Structure 1
Amino acid sequence: MTRLTASPGLDLFFRSSSASLFVRPQMAIEYPRRRPPLHNDPLDMDGHDAHSDPYQSDDDDDDSNSDTSDAVVEVSADEFPGYFQERGGRLFHSHGRSPYPLPVDAEEHQRQNGLNQLLRRLIGDSSVGPVRELLVDAPGEQRRVLDLGTGTGEWVLDMAREFPRVRFYGVDIVPIATRYPPPNVTFEMHDIAEKFRYDSGSIDFVHARSISMAIRDYGGLLPEIARLLRPGGLFVSNEWARSPVMLDGSDIDIHAPSTAEFFRAVRDTLRERRGIPTIAHKIPELLQDSGHFTNVSSCPFFMPTGPWHEDPGLRELGRENRDMVELYARSMRAVLIDGPWAAQADTLIQGCINESWRVPGLGLLYHTVHARRR
């Protein structure tokens, strides 16, 4: 039996190539490495050829590599620091190669889940692009979707409920998704900077939301995404700009100087200390230049910050987003105290929070891009 200790409030579902387990304070449950195919699985009822997972390649014949093995692997308590570490009262991932800087604790879960709902309302759907057209049922075919940097897995779970006959995979460097995924969902641990173990051409739709802080070379990731996608498959990228804006295009440094300075400090520290560039506005060009994608289409969405908008719906979005901005600012403290703005970190954070309530016209840009695999 595995006994691990997690911070209060954490429910963690861990799935890797070697084991699955649920982690809760003072509790641990062992799971088989993969749920065997179920005869009454709704995904299997029509005799679809895709009971087999897209990463079950020809060299996975022996039992030690089989994804349907019934083996249970015990993870000892001293392995917990291999996934998480606590700093300054917040919980972070301990994956040494990933530059991702934000916490992975309950407060950050609240922000991720809140943003998932806000973005659906802002965009008007779960995703931009021809997703519904792509995921329509086709006789004898199994549609598959891969979500990069899935976090708490809320986007995957929403989509899985909407498309129950589609197979969804969510990957992240930390095991923070639900321990009770529906039958058409699998969560796994994986660093997106490394090669995926899925077969080439096995995925219909790759979805990436807010992964730009988890990878230093976004352009270098695109050939691997292209390898995973079948010809005509869809890639959707969603990234927040790291610069606040005014709705009327006026100078942010004049209207919200503390907010502008906070985001400037974050951008510079991410670049200088972690090698993370500001990339959201460059992704359409990267997709075009990669040579792997066609029909590249981009659309920025303006998300108000604060309850200032005349439209009631956007005013409510702004009110709720203001809370998300506060959570983000507090989470970013871990970044700022690791750079040249350490002494000013708390002042910058509080200034940004204060202005998020009282500056009309203030907001953030959410860059969305979708493209087809050639």
Structure 2
Amino acid sequence: MSCSRRLHDDSESDDESVVSLPPFSAPPSSRGSRSSYDMSMRSASPTPSVWSMTSSIRAQAFRQEYGRGLNNYSEVYRLPADDEELDRLNQQHEMFVEVMGKYPPCLAEIMQDDVPGETKACLDLGCGSGAWIMELAREYPRCLAVAVDLVPMQSLTMPDNCRSEVDDINLGLEHFYGDFNVVHARLISSGIKDYMALIDQISRVLRPAGLMDIMEFDFHVYDHMPDGNHRRCDLPTSHIAAPWVARWMVFACMAVRNAGGHPDAATHLRQWVTSHPALENVVYHDYWIPVSPHAIFNDFQKHVGARMRDDILSFLKSGRPLLLGSGVPEQIVNELQRNAELELRTAARAQYVRVQRVYCRKKIS
């Protein structure tokens, strides 16, 4: 399908169509605001915690907002943590494993039982559905695996060597200093107020020669360019028009920033990690993941594009509380979502999201 397909019968083209909605002006940012709870409500880390998702715990951990279940502890992270979202994250995890593999190559070496008296330990920050940390716990049953998120991990099949802790990592990781051989974080920038400070915290959590593995995306969509220099769609929120997925993502970026998150952290990961004095052996990868199975892509790209399309279709629903809570009128959110869904389902544009990943080791001395 050509990129000029009309999304409205009365529009002139994808690039020129403007819906009959008033312009939207973003509200001022609340960046730097504190989380909605204090230090006394943190998990009693590092005491093992076993959660049974009773109705009382669910009521304490979640709040209903715009028809979705959000965490009840942080005003910064405003994406859902309900069953529908956890389903999306599980599917997303499988796609990422297909694209980039499960672990950095050095993880197997790090996890060897080669230090007398030391139990290898792995930490997953912002674990989401827990897919990554539970797989690791099963593959390394002698290690200790700790999953941290704003809500309890809800799996009924959690391995015995894995525990779930409820915490806001914006409050610091001092209680974990020197405890872990591996620290993993994936797509958590929307809930992090100071990502550079988080990298420093992770460096202190790691044991000597430990592994940090972090991955983020920048809340933008990129147009395909034949020379590989794919062009970022920098669009204003004052203009409600195609390209729709890219426009929706710009609104999401604005909403994350206004809630106090760090949506552009991906852009700086490499520099922050490379310049940190305690870290070395930095490996950086760019992954250009198609947003749909457009006709110009090869078979593998189409396969991954179909999976990413399904992920974004679900993300459009997950993002409603984020956009509505930031003050975007429901009429605009509905228009953005409806047209973005059509753009994705018809694979109307050859576009990507850019995922940036950095892994490195902590210096021995």
- The residue number in structure 1 matching 2:98 is 121
Correspondence list, 1:195-206, <5 A: 195-196=172-173, 198-206=175-183
User: Who is 2:252 aligned against?
Assistant: 266
Distance 1:176 1:193 in 2: 19
Distance change >3 Å, CA 86–CA 243, structure 1 → 2 = same
Q: Assess, with a 3 A threshold, how the Cα gap between structure 1 residues 23 and 361 changes in structure 2: closer, same or farther.
A: same
Q: 1:199 to 1:273 in 2, by over 3 A?
A: closer
Task: Give the aligned partner of residue 351 of structure 1.
Answer: 339
Match of 1:4 in 2: none
The answer as to 2:273 corresponding to 1:295 is: no
Q: Any runs of at least 4 consecutive aligned residues in structure 1 with deviations exceeding 4 A, and if so which?
A: 250-256
* Other-structure match for 2:191: 214
Which residue number corresponds to residue 18 of structure 2? none
Answering whether residue 133 of structure 2 is matched by residue 159 of structure 1, we say no
Give the equivalent residue in structure 1 for 2:53.
Answer: 23
Identify the range of structure 1 (136-145 vs 248-257) with the bigger mean alpha-carbon deviation. Answer: 248-257
Q: Which residue number in structure 2 is paired with residue 328 of structure 1?
A: 315
Among candidates 82, 91, 98, match of residue 60 of structure 2: 82
Q: State the 1:179 CA deviation.
A: 3.8
Structure 1 residue 253 displacement after superposition:
7.0
Distance 1:352 1:211 in 2: 23
Tell me the equivalent position of 2:114. Answer: 138
Separation in 1 of the partners of 2:286 and 2:270? 11
Equivalent position SS for 2:275: helix
- Superposed, which structure 2 residues align to 1:1-374 within 5 Å? 16-17=43-44, 20-23=50-53, 77=56, 80-96=58-74, 98-123=75-100, 125-138=101-114, 140=116, 141-196=118-173, 198-248=175-225, 249-250=230-231, 252=233, 257-308=243-294, 310-342=297-329, 343-357=331-345, 358-374=347-363
Counterpart-to-counterpart distance in 2, 1:80 and 1:173: 12
Aligned Cα root-mean-square deviation (Å): 2.5
Percent identity of equivalent pairs: 25
Alignment partners' CA distance in 2, 1:134 and 1:284: 22
| Structure 1: gaps of 5 or more residues | 1-14, 26-76
The whole-number CA distance in structure 1 between the counterparts of 2:233 and 2:51 is 47
**Distance in 2 of aligned mates of 1:121 and 1:333:** 28
CA distance in 1, matches of 2:200, 2:78: 25
CA distance, structure 1, for counterparts of residue 68 and residue 143 of structure 2? 36
C-alpha distance in 2 between matches for 1:189 and 1:142: 23
Residues 108-128 of structure 1: CA deviation (Å, up to 9, x unaligned): 0111000010000011x2133
1:275 CA displacement: 4.7
Q: How has the CA–CA distance of structure 1 residues 218 and 282 changed in structure 2, closer, same or farther, with 3 Å as cutoff? A: same
Q: How many residues are aligned here?
A: 306
Q: Which amino acid aligns with 1:101?
A: R
- Code of the residue aligned with 1:246 in structure 2: it is D
TM norm structure 1: 0.75
Task: Tell me if structure 2 keeps the 8 A contact 1:246–1:362.
Answer: yes
1:7-62: per-residue Cα shift (whole Å, max 9, x none)?
xxxxxxxx94286431256xxxxxxxxxxxxxxxxxxxxxxxxxxxxxxxxxxxxx
CA distance in 2, matches of 1:94, 1:280: 26
Contact 2:313 2:341 in 1 (8 A): yes
Within 2, Cα distance between the matches of 1:253 and 1:287? 26
Q: CA deviation at 1:102?
A: 0.4
Distance 1:199 1:364, change over 3 A: closer
Distance in 1 of aligned mates of 2:327 and 2:62:
26
Structure 2 residue runs without a partner (length 5+): 1-41, 236-240
For residues 166-188 of structure 1, give each alpha carbon's deviation from its aligned partner in whole angstroms, at most 9, with x where no partner exists. 22111111013314321221111
Map Cα deviations across residues 62-105 of structure 1 (whole Å, 9 max, x no partner). xxxxxxxxxxxxxxx4x754311111221111104x51110111
Indicate the structure whose relative CO is greater, using CA pairs within 8 Å and at least 6 residues apart: 2
